[in-house]
Amino acid sequence: MRQSKLLTKTRKEGPKDEVSKNANLLIRAGFINKEMAGVYDYLPLGLRVMQKIENIIRDEMNKLGGLEMKTSIIQSKEVWEKSNRWSDELVDNWFKTKLKNGTEVGLSFTNEEAYANILKQYISSYKDLPVYPYDFKSIFRNEARSKSGMLRGREFYWKAMYSFSKDENEHDEFYEKSKIAYKNIFDRVGIGHLTYLTFASGGTFSKFSHEFQAVTPAGEDTIYFDEKKKIAVNREVYNDEVLKSLGLEKNKLVELKSIEVGNIFSLGTKFSEPFDLKYKNEKSEDKFVVMGSYGIGLGRLMGTVVEILSDEKGMIWPVSIAPFKVHLVELISENIKVKETAEKLYNELAKAGIEVLYDDRNARAGEKFNDSDLIGIPIRIVVSEKGLEKGEFEIKQRMDGKVLSLKENEIINFVEKYK
Amino acid sequence: MRQSKLLTKTRKEGPKDEVSKNANLLIRAGFINKEMAGVYDYLPLGLRVMQKIENIIRDEMNKLGGLEMKTSIIQSKEVWEKSNRWSDELVDNWFKTKLKNGTEVGLSFTNEEAYANILKQYISSYKDLPVYPYDFKSIFRNEARSKSGMLRGREFYWKAMYSFSKDENEHDEFYEKSKIAYKNIFDRVGIGHLTYLTFASGGTFSKFSHEFQAVTPAGEDTIYFDEKKKIAVNREVYNDEVLKSLGLEKNKLVELKSIEVGNIFSLGTKFSEPFDLKYKNEKSEDKFVVMGSYGIGLGRLMGTVVEILSDEKGMIWPVSIAPFKVHLVELISENIKVKETAEKLYNELAKAGIEVLYDDRNARAGEKFNDSDLIGIPIRIVVSEKGLEKGEFEIKQRMDGKVLSLKENEIINFVEKYK
């Protein structure tokens, strides 16, 4: 698309009250707008990134056998009272509101109750299990403070899958598969090399839950990481007994700051009991369904990618989730051939199915290069008078800063192969 | 996908408090779940329909030059006070809630304010206009009563585009284009033949707004329709003066019940003035931006399709938005060849990229046929012992009830061509 029609513009400074690097860069580059602390709008560039992240997660969930649905944001009090999570004394980050007739309702802050309540209608026999429904939806958490930009929102966009299995064995088997799917997701969005499976506190039904922690100084979490085994332990369960049970040695662990980008949790019958979510097994005996939960915050993941993949000039998007693959920058010239060549190349790239942002604005070269570095599209192609004289185009890779020169007929092939 | 893994099942009756035909059929067929009056969850079948409707609308909005973004649901009081729409005395269907620090916030019930507020940062020159941002998002309206199923929700999924133009001329030109895009949308989802452009009340800045009204006895609106001219007048502006100005004659109009499935509105400077949304024209003079709004409720549209395209047996989806194109129904038999043939055909159809729901359940033929009619997938293919003996498959078209017999090697070609 043409940058002159993009709607947004870059800005030199983020909002004064925005202390996080991720939100500052995203706001300055025009990816998001800050509605208030912890509440952001996705502008066209930001939504393109989010939709790509969503499609990667959807693909991995579908490969796991997931069934996508979309549950409501407004939630009934009666449903949440069953699991004893309605009371503000027990769950302190609810947003609640009222219908005209005075009925109290809540804004969805997680999905165990909604799913257990819906699935109760449909599960009666062992033949109905296992099932793996999931949602992408906006989630609301009334955080007292929200200073980490996209890392901790009051309103955020989220994927949650729940597993409904016949027994612990069936659950465990799926739980292990979900770890691989999660690893694939973090690899595909470009932070797999810094994201580690981390043991965290479990609950009544399992000794541990598992987090995926992405290492960055911006993280609010602390993990203890074994470089060789590529696993970590969250601070909350970092003690001698746990380390021993995991075969880890204290002196081989490094303390690191990190962001929890994913969480998987064995729920046992914690929710199926209060919702009376039972099935008849092959002997016609009543059994409780065994549940698990598998969450990822998409906005937080986007913010984490920005924290990890950025430099002093701006963001550095991996091809897989970049808003565009190519930033075509036309350096304004009196020689009409420059614009003609840029327009021609823009059309050829589009025709080849390549996503291109074409900087057709009447602006100085320095401004264009600064904006390009800030926005962080993987491949920058410069069309300039100097280049035209040599019959060459300057190609700059944002990831490693490498510059090369290509002839016009070499460009499409280079871009298509670039990953 | 296999019906045995669909998660949902059909039911004989809808909820007792659900009086609308659309929600009753959708609930009975397992497309949606009722959370409370006016609040529904989309189950896998229902979400597939919604995603197809969303993609059709997205396609038409992008063709108009639309730029997709996603604004927040939580909205600041300060923003809405500018246009004087915060007070509950002036807007009585707000859902409001509070942050931990006591700050009041609202849940988005429309988007003029959010867009005017965001775009103010980016619009300064005539070069920045026109722009056409749009959103798909969940919208909240605190309706006192909500008895029409998907036709009037307290929470509903919605597309809203806003146009930001330099002047009335530029606005009018886009407004006319939007009418064509809207017509395309209603044609593509299968109700174009019963959906009419309707003159409705305007506002300070234009004599009329325009609605797209779909004719059905389930409608809550009343329109006066000119069969020959294919335009209608909403009851609210049905008077001699208006009829005269539109060149319509009272005795040629038919009174009809209808559902408003779309609405387009010229806003003039109603919102750009309070938000001080100005640009400098080519002479460096300050001018207010001219706005328009273009809305469609996706859940209401889905409910309208059900009201219009259904019979006493169930729903009748057009191919364009059907959850699946083919319902492959295996009639359980002791002859193992029946299952083998059904499995083979299922794989062949899937390989050809055709969306198939395969009824592989161990259930009676009558139950399978009833479910198939209720769910309303366009093409039903029956695999039965009787058919196999003749070397034929029974194909039934849900739209017109036509039955035909095809040989195995004719099926894929027939399905691919079916529209």
The answer to whether A162 and A52 have CB atoms below 8 angstroms apart is no
pLDDT at A266: 97
- The residue type at A255: E
pLDDT at A381: 98
Which candidate from A36, A97, A133 shows the least CB-CB separation from B97? A97
Answer whether residue A329 shows pLDDT above 90.
yes
Q: Determine the distance in angstroms separating the CA of B213 from the nearest CA of chain A, rounded to an integer.
A: 27
Residue in chain A closest to B102 (alpha carbons) equals A144
The answer to whether B307 and B357 have CB atoms below 8 angstroms apart is no
Confidence of residue A130 (pLDDT cuts 50, 70, 90): very high
Which candidate from A6, A74, A122 shows the least CB-CB separation from B154? A74
Pair of tokens at residue A344: 């021609």
Region A65-69: what's the mean pLDDT?
98
Per-residue HEC secondary structure of B174-233 comes to HHHHHHHHHHHHHHHCCCHHHEEEEEEECCCCCCEEEEEEEECCCCCEEEEEECCCCEEE
Which candidate from A46, A101, A155 shows the least CB-CB separation from B74? A155
Query: 10 Å Cβ neighbour count for A106?
Result: 22
Q: Determine the distance in angstroms separating the CA of B238 from the nearest CA of chain A, rounded to an integer.
A: 32
On the 0-12 / 13-18 / 19+ scale of CB atoms within 10 A, B251 is exposed
Reported pTM: 0.97
- B143–A100 CB contact, under 8 Å: yes
Pair of tokens at residue A259: 């962001």
- A50–B70 CB contact, under 8 Å: yes
Residue in chain A closest to B45 (alpha carbons) equals A69
- H or E, element range at A326: strand A326-330
Q: Which CA distances in Å does B139 have to B78, B156, B200? A: 19, 5, 23
On the 0-12 / 13-18 / 19+ scale of CB atoms within 10 A, B30 is buried
Cα–Cα distance for residue pair A28/A46, rounded to 1 Å? 12
- B33–A118 CB contact, under 8 Å: yes
Cα–Cα distance for residue pair A388/A407, rounded to 1 Å? 10
CA-angle at A364, arms to A362 and A369, nearest 5°: 110
| Per-domain boundaries in chain A | 8-190+202-215+258-311, 326-417
Phi and psi at residue A207, in whole multiples of 5°?
A: -65, -40
- H or E, element range at A244: helix A240-245
Residue in chain B closest to A47 (alpha carbons) equals B69
Give the CATH fold of the B10-220+257-311 domain.
BirA Bifunctional Protein; domain 2 (3.30.930)
- A69–B43 CB contact, under 8 Å: yes
- B5–A72 CB contact, under 8 Å: no
Cα–Cα distance for residue pair A289/A334, rounded to 1 Å? 72
The answer to whether A384 and A396 have CB atoms below 8 angstroms apart is no
- B74–A35 CB contact, under 8 Å: yes
Region A307-335: what's the mean pLDDT?
97
Percent of chain A clearing pLDDT 90 (strictly above): 96
Phi and psi at residue A33, in whole multiples of 5°?
A: -125, 140
pLDDT at B152: 92
Pair of tokens at residue B80: 């809405």
Residues of A in contact with B371 (CB under 8 A): none
- A72–B9 CB contact, under 8 Å: no
DSSP A174: H
Q: List Cβ neighbours of A163 (8 Å cut-off, separation of 6 or more).
A: A130, A131, A132, A171, A174, A175, A178, A291, A292, A293, A294
- B44–A69 CB contact, under 8 Å: yes
- B69–A4 CB contact, under 8 Å: no
- CA-only gyration radius of chain B, Å: 25
- The residue type at A135: D
Q: For chain A, what is the mean pLDDT? A: 96
pLDDT at A203: 81
Which candidate from B42, B70, B114 shows the least CB-CB separation from A69? B42
Confidence of residue A117 (pLDDT cuts 50, 70, 90): very high
Which candidate from A30, A68, A101 shows the least CB-CB separation from B47? A68
Query: 10 Å Cβ neighbour count for B84?
Result: 10
CATH homologous superfamily for the domain A8-190+202-215+258-311: Bira Bifunctional Protein; Domain 2 (3.30.930.10)
Pair of tokens at residue B26: 């959708």
DSSP A70: B
- The answer to whether the peptide bond before residue B130 is cis (omega within 30 degrees of 0) is yes
* Per-residue pLDDT of chain B in tens (419 residues, 90 and over written 9): 999 999 999 999 999 989 999 999 999 999 999 999 999 999 999 999 999 999 999 999 999 999 999 999 999 999 999 999 999 999 999 999 999 999 999 999 999 999 999 999 999 999 999 999 999 999 999 999 888 999 999 999 999 999 999 999 999 999 999 999 999 999 999 999 999 999 999 987 788 999 999 999 999 999 999 999 999 999 999 999 999 999 999 999 999 999 999 999 999 999 999 999 999 999 999 999 999 999 999 999 999 999 999 999 999 999 999 999 999 999 999 999 999 999 999 999 999 999 999 999 999 999 999 999 999 999 999 999 999 999 999 999 999 999 999 999 999 999 999 99
The structural architecture, per CATH, of the domain A326-417 is 3-Layer(aba) Sandwich (3.40)
Strands A326-330, A356-359: pairing is parallel
Which of A336, A335, A328 shows the shortest CA–CA distance to A383? A328
SS3 B381: strand
Cα–Cα distance for residue pair A385/A391, rounded to 1 Å? 10
E-strand spans in A167-220? 195-201, 208-215
The answer to whether A205 and A268 have CB atoms below 8 angstroms apart is yes
Phi and psi at residue B154, in whole multiples of 5°?
A: -80, -35
Pair of tokens at residue B224: 């006066």
Residue in chain B closest to A93 (alpha carbons) equals B100
- A35–B140 CB contact, under 8 Å: no
Pair of tokens at residue A68: 């996508």
Chain-centre distance for alpha carbon B248 = 30
Confidence of residue A205 (pLDDT cuts 50, 70, 90): confident
Q: Determine the distance in angstroms separating the CA of B11 from the nearest CA of chain A, rounded to an integer.
A: 10
Dihedral in degrees, nearest 10, Cα atoms B162, B164, B167, B169: -50
- A39–B114 CB contact, under 8 Å: no
Is the ipTM, as predicted for this complex, more than 0.90? Answer: yes
Region A143-157: what's the mean pLDDT?
92
Residue in chain B closest to A65 (alpha carbons) equals B5
Residues of B in contact with A63 (CB under 8 A): none
Which of B198, B184, B235 shows the shortest CA–CA distance to B61? B184
The answer to whether B336 and B344 have CB atoms below 8 angstroms apart is no
Which candidate from A6, A41, A76 shows the least CB-CB separation from B35? A76
Which candidate from A70, A114, A155 shows the least CB-CB separation from B47? A70
Which candidate from B73, B100, B133 shows the least CB-CB separation from A155? B73
Confidence of residue A206 (pLDDT cuts 50, 70, 90): confident
Strands A379-383, B286-288: pairing is unpaired
Residues of A in contact with B95 (CB under 8 A): 97
pLDDT at B146: 84
- H or E, element range at A60: helix A44-63
- A47–B41 CB contact, under 8 Å: no
The answer to whether B26 and B303 have CB atoms below 8 angstroms apart is yes
CA-angle at A187, arms to A182 and A191, nearest 5°: 105
Q: Determine the distance in angstroms separating the CA of B393 from the nearest CA of chain A, rounded to an integer.
A: 28
Region A330-339: what's the mean pLDDT?
96
DSSP A152: S
Only one residue has tokens 């809550």, namely: B220
Percent of chain A clearing pLDDT 70 (strictly above): 100
- B44–A114 CB contact, under 8 Å: no
Cα–Cα distance for residue pair B58/B56, rounded to 1 Å? 5
- A127–B4 CB contact, under 8 Å: yes
Which of B18, B67, B35, B38 shows the shortest CA–CA distance to B299? B38
The answer to whether B195 and B213 have CB atoms below 8 angstroms apart is yes
Which candidate from B40, B99, B133 shows the least CB-CB separation from A72? B40
Pair of tokens at residue A206: 């399992």
- B69–A142 CB contact, under 8 Å: no
A186: left (phi over 0), alpha (psi -120 to 50) or beta: alpha
The answer to whether A229 and A243 have CB atoms below 8 angstroms apart is no
- B35–A74 CB contact, under 8 Å: yes
Residues of B in contact with A118 (CB under 8 A): 33, 41, 43
- A40–B72 CB contact, under 8 Å: yes
Residues of A in contact with B101 (CB under 8 A): 144
Q: List Cβ neighbours of B2 (8 Å cut-off, separation of 6 or more).
A: B358, B360
Strands B74-76, A208-215: pairing is unpaired
Dihedral in degrees, nearest 10, Cα atoms B12, B18, B21, B22: -100
Q: Which CA distances in Å does A196 have to A4, A260, B90? A: 41, 10, 52
Q: List Cβ neighbours of A181 (8 Å cut-off, separation of 6 or more).
A: A60, A61, A63, A64
pLDDT at B203: 81
Residue in chain B closest to A97 (alpha carbons) equals B97
Region A127-132: what's the mean pLDDT?
97
- B121–A97 CB contact, under 8 Å: no
Confidence of residue A31 (pLDDT cuts 50, 70, 90): very high
Which candidate from B8, B107, B122 shows the least CB-CB separation from A8? B122
pLDDT at B123: 97
